[in-house]
Amino acid sequence: MATLRQTPLTCSGHTRPVVHLQFSPITASGSYMISASKDGKPMLRKGETGDWIGTFEGHKGAVWGVALSSDIQRAATGAADFCAKIWDAVTGQELHTLSHAHIVKTVDFSNDDKFLATGSNDKLIRIYDLNKIDSDPMTINGHTSSIRHVLFTNNSQLLISASEDKTVRFWDKNTKEEIKKLEFNTIPYSIELSRDSKMLSICYGNNVMFYDMESMSQLKEFKIPTHVLSATLHPDKSVFVCGGEDFKMYKYDYNSGSELESFKGHFGGVHCVRFSPDGELYASGSEDGTLRLWQTTVGKTYGLWKCVNNDENDLNNENNINIENHNISNN
């Protein structure tokens, strides 16, 4: 019996590699997705379909990091033009430009939307009070090389950073003190917090590590057949998906560690992978300049995927899946 084939939605619009993406929480109008690209034009899309909503115009260099506030009212971006920007996510208007001493690689809103953290090639973490945006930011100094990612945990008091100094560090926002440091033999390329902030995934080399945020200890580690650039854990923590330099997407059972599927999804390395907040799909961004959306359960009617025949006898026929709009452009 034939296996049902993944048929992705391809979201075009970016003209250079897509290097980061983030989904919003689920709102009354669904979820949203923001993407960062080296073309300097971050884009906002509908999370369930990939439909283009708008492009944030204003950066003069590659955009490396993006974030949406939990209320979806603001967006933040970090770029190679030595600044981070805060935007009105509804109108697309630029609200603030935050100057830095070097390239800004990462941005993240606190869960209460009161603060914005940035990480830069100048080795500093900056924390901006969004109610006093014109005041000087709090700075955290400790890394010895460029910072790749900064994340707030759900209590907004603990920050996590990953750096090219081959460490992942945990910080107390109020005291600016380092709580813990994890050291690796290679650069931790990306990190992701689970939706409940209880688990942290860390990609380094050919490995994906999962870390317990309550006990501050390693849970599991998986060896992947490629240099892994990004990994994402399903909201129910049953499976995780990762991608990397061999252009492939890999899906693993988190509990057993068995590989469930692998397939070539892009024509370039996979820089970022993230599950949607409802877990029904995952998005990937690539060196090939595209964003693609993939079904978690292939053949299920969801978003733009329409299952033509729901008869169980036909669900393994790869021809029974129709996509209303296979190529979603920004026109």
User: What is the percent of the chain where pLDDT is above 90?
Assistant: 83
Q: Is the confidence at residue 329, as pLDDT, over 60?
A: no
Query: Is 260 inside any structural domain?
Result: yes
Task: Check which CATH number belongs to the domain holding 267 and give it.
Answer: 2.130.10.10
pLDDT at 311: 42
More confident residue, 15 or 324: 15
Q: Is the confidence at residue 17, as pLDDT, over 60?
A: yes
pLDDT digits (tens, 9 = 90+) for 66-124: 999 999 999 999 999 999 999 999 999 999 999 999 999 999 999 999 999 999 999 99
Query: Is 331 inside any structural domain?
Result: no
Counted domains in the chain: 1
CB 307 within 8 A of CB 324: no
Average pLDDT in the 27-48 region?
A: 96
pLDDT digits (tens, 9 = 90+) for 188-227: 999 999 989 999 999 999 999 999 999 999 999 999 999 9
Report the predicted TM-score, pTM, of the whole model to 2 decimal places: 0.91
Query: Is 205 inside any structural domain?
Result: yes
Identify the band that residue 20 occupies on the pLDDT scale cut at 50, 70 and 90: very high
pLDDT at 314: 38
Q: Is the confidence at residue 313, as pLDDT, over 80?
A: no
Identify the band that residue 4 occupies on the pLDDT scale cut at 50, 70 and 90: confident
Poorest-confidence range of 2-11, 193-202, 284-293?
A: 2-11
Query: Is 315 inside any structural domain?
Result: no
Average of per-residue pLDDT values in the chain: 91
Average pLDDT in the 270-275 region?
A: 97
Q: Is the confidence at residue 327, as pLDDT, over 70?
A: no
pLDDT at 155: 82
Q: Is the confidence at residue 265, as pLDDT, over 60?
A: yes
Q: Is the confidence at residue 321, as pLDDT, over 70?
A: no
- Amino acid sitting at position 108: D
Which residue range(s) make up the domain with 67?
10-296
Query: Is 254 inside any structural domain?
Result: yes
Query: Is 30 inside any structural domain?
Result: yes
CA 39 to each of CA 1, 14, 18, 61, 90: distance values in angstroms, whole numbers, following the listed order: 44, 7, 8, 7, 22
Query: Is 328 inside any structural domain?
Result: no
Q: Is the confidence at residue 243, as pLDDT, over 50?
A: yes
CA 328 to each of CA 46, 167, 191, 277: distance values in angstroms, whole numbers, following the listed order: 11, 38, 28, 21
pLDDT at 208: 98
Buried b (16+ CB within 10 A) or exposed e, 278-317: ebbbbbbbbbbbbbbbbbbebbbebbbbebeeeeeeebee
Poorest-confidence range of 5-9, 17-21, 41-45, 283-287?
A: 5-9
pLDDT digits (tens, 9 = 90+) for 149-183: 999 998 888 999 999 999 999 999 999 999 999 99
pLDDT at 40: 98
Place of tokens 């506030």: 69
- Residue 258's contacts (CB-CB under 8 Å, 6 or more residues apart) are 252
pLDDT at 169: 98
- Do the bridges between strand 52-55 and strand 43-46 make them parallel or antiparallel, or are there none, so unpaired? antiparallel
